[in-house]
């Protein structure tokens, strides 16, 4: 599901995201408002990415709750694996089975 895609009558904004940074690295985050958060990154407000601009959204996976988005973010960051991140970007989703394995 792309940013702004409609599910029912509301926009999907809660989820986990991966940014491609100007230095070639990835940044992983979660949010309850993806449009606002990406804008903050692009404007240099977020300390973690302000020195690696420009950034672009490489991946976004909607979640039903912010708690689930945070769990996915934590899991992904704990792997510290560029290979896993690039596979997720290529596949276009995070498989739930990965969370238990």
Instruction: Give me the pLDDT at residue 25, please.
Output: 96
**Residues 6 or more apart whose Cβ sits within 8 Å of residue 20:** 26, 55, 56, 57, 58
| Domains (range + CATH), the chain | 6-100 (3.40.1440)
DSSP letter assigned to residue 23: T
DSSP letter assigned to residue 46: S
Instruction: Give me the pLDDT at residue 9, please.
Output: 36
Give the pTM.
0.83
List average pLDDT for each run of 10 residues in the chain, which is 101 residues long.
43 90 97 96 96 96 94 93 94 70 41
């Amino acid at each position: 599901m792309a940013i702004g895609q409609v599910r029912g009558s509301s926009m999907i904004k809660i989820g986990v995201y991966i940014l491609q940074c100007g230095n070639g690295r990835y940044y992983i985050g979660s949010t309850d408002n993806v449009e606002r958060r990406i804008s903050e990154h692009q404007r240099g407000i977020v300390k973690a990415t302000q020195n690696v601009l420009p950034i672009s959204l490489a991946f976004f996976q909607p979640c039903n709750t912010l708690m689930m988005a945070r769990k996915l973010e934590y899991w992904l960051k704990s792997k510290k694996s560029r290979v896993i991140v690039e596979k997720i970007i290529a596949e276009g989703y995070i498989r739930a089975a990965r969370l238990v394995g």
